[in-house]
Structure 1
Amino acid sequence: MSGFLLRLAGPLQSWGEHSAYGLRDTVAFPTRSGLVGMFAAAQGVERGADLSRYDDLGITVRIDRPGTRTVDFHTVGGGMPAGRTVPTAEGKRRGAEVSTIVTHRAYLAGAVFTVAVTAPDEAAQPIADALLAPHWQPYLGRRACVPDQPLVLRRGVADPVTELEKVPLPPPLPGRRHGHAGETVRVDFVYEGDRVPPGRSGERTVLSDVPRSFSGARRAYATRPVTVLPEELPATLARWRDHNGYLAALYDYVRGTS
């Protein structure tokens, strides 16, 4: 087993878990379905393809910066002429009186996550390579949410979860600060199933985000338990006074010079 490390950052992210119709939610960290969708897109996997190739992936998330939850009031189709209103399932067009579709879409603004992906050696490297030269553009939960660079931090990592203890942390958003405790800083980790460190317990929840099919109306998901635990990391990982200092340290880490 080996793996790779990802950095998920951008102006907006949205990781839906039980979205329906006009309400599009987001959970507080990247979902398994969102990440598998990113990997499948990068590898050129079609929507109706078998997704079992991703079943053996282990995903651990470090919440570097939780961001700010915001909701967009979104409309489609209003004020359009009859021939350009929203189409129906029968191939017709909505009438003017019902042409406007309203949705509320939740996002995480300014969030940053570091993700450790563990997989069999023969699976990890092709996924990481595809993310660096993707077939289809990766995005952070929704197509409008473009990721910042660097996306892939390191490939061929023997123990990606332990490596989460070494990746630089970004500065907090204005008006906030990291939870320092002397020489350490407290950061939440999201562990899957039985991957929780021995002797630890924390906030445990069940998410319906294990994708079985991405095929149109036949999308299907299974459930998985996750546990959120605070971890103490060296305060030196968060010593940057500004974003430029953080980026310099991050690229040093990517190059393997830190």
Structure 2
Amino acid sequence: MKTITIRLAGLLQSYGNEAPFNIRTTSNYPSKSAVIGMISAAFGYQRDCSKIQIFNRLEFAVRIDQPGKLLTDFQTVHTAKSSYTTHRDYLQDAVFVVAIGSDDEQLIDDIDEALHHPKYQLFLGRRANVPAGILKTKVFKNTNPLTALKQLSCQADEWYQYQHYQGRDSIQLKVLGDANLVPDAESFLVKDTVKSFDQSHRQHGFRAVVESNVITKIIWRDGNRMNDSGPDTHHNPMRFL
């Protein structure tokens, strides 16, 4: 099996669950359907393209490296007859690492290529939530998603690692993945298998998920990336002129 890890970071992220139009909540971590949607956009697939179903077969796990903070946005909608307020929840400054595995190694290579040369705009849940720059990916051979997340060092922002993990060499992080990745663990159901992205008939199915923890290395200590007073936040855009 070959696995690709994808670092998901951005100013705002939102991974909606079932909710009415005027109240849109978010999960605390990326859903499989949201990641499938991002990959489908990278390939240039339309919402009703049958090829999207292939991505449901991918083994999936997500690691929470930087939980972020919840932000609720209130918007007033005016109609001809009335006005009402809508609520939109977002995750601020969160960082996740998604791991996707398949025995079809060429498919993983194609996904990696597409994510770096996307046909359509990539987004983190909702279309307005763009990634913070180019996606950082890494491909692991002969490795399933859970093992890949154990091997990959913590991908939280350096300032976050400095504030929370100073003086430590490793950290335990939460992982949520397909139930078959941890056979002995108790599983629960989430509704994020893609049946249809069609806006007129959007449908999702259930899949079994397990929660576990992995221990990973801290990266901010490597390569003297920070000085003694913390992360180097000096920014001088004029130097490029």
- TM-score normalised by L of structure 1: 0.76
Higher strand share: 2
Over the aligned positions, Cα root-mean-square deviation in angstroms equals 2.6
Residue 14 of structure 1 is matched in structure 2 by 14
In structure 2, the CA distance between the partners of 1:186 and 1:155, relative to structure 1 (3 Å rule), is closer
Q: Percent identity?
A: 29
Other structure's SS at 2:219 match: helix
Contact 2:19–2:25, Cα closer than 8 Å, also in 1 = yes
* Residue of structure 1 equivalent to 2:88: 105
Show the counterpart of 2:29.
29
Distance in 1, Cα, partners of 2:166 & 2:211 = 16
> What are the ranges of 5 or more consecutive residues in structure 2 without an aligned counterpart?
234-241
Could you tell me whether the CA contact under 8 Å between 1:110 and 1:173 is conserved in 2? no
Equivalent positions of 1:99-178 (< 5 A) are 100-119=83-102, 120-155=104-139, 157-159=141-143, 161=145, 162-164=147-149, 165-170=151-156, 171=158, 173=160, 177-178=164-165
Q: CA contact under 8 A between 1:166 and 1:237: conserved in structure 2?
A: no
* Mapped pair 1:45 → 2:45: yes
Provide the rounded CA distance (Å) in 1 between the counterparts of 2:6 and 2:144. 10
- For residues 175 and 65 of structure 1, the distance between their equivalents in structure 2, rounded to whole angstroms, comes to 12
Unpaired runs of 5+ residues, structure 1, are 79-93, 246-258
Of 237, 245, 250, 2:219 maps to 237
**Which moves more between the two structures, 170-179 or 59-68?**
170-179
Deviation at 1:160, TM superposition (A): 5.3
Q: Distance in 2 between matches of 1:213 and 1:25?
A: 20
Residue in structure 2 matched with residue 70 of structure 1 by the alignment: 71
| Separation in 2, partners of 1:213, 1:207 | 16
What is the aligned partner in structure 2 of residue 253 from structure 1? none
Partner amino acid, structure 2, of 1:139: F
User: Take 2:162 and 2:112, find their aligned partners in 1: how far apart are those partners?
Assistant: 35
State the shift of 1:45 in Å: 0.7
Residue 238 of structure 2 is matched in structure 1 by none
The range that moved more, 161-170 or 22-31, is: 161-170
| Secondary structure of the corresponding residue to residue 217 of structure 1 | coil
In structure 2, the partner of 1:186 is: 172
What TM-score, normalized by structure 2, do the two folds share?
0.81
Alignment-mate amino acid for residue 9 of structure 2: A
- Contact kept, 8 Å, 1:17 with 1:207, in 2: the verdict is no
State the one-letter code of the partner of 2:46.
E
Larger radius of gyration: 1
Contact 2:13–2:124 (8 Å) recurs in 1: yes
Distance (whole Å) between structure 2 residues aligned to residue 172 and residue 158 of structure 1 = 33
In the alignment, the residues of structure 1 paired with residue 76 and residue 188 of structure 2 have an alpha-carbon distance, to the nearest angstrom, of 33
Query: Shift of the alpha carbon at 1:27?
Result: 0.6
Secondary structure of 1:106 counterpart = strand
The code of the aligned residue for 2:164 comes to R
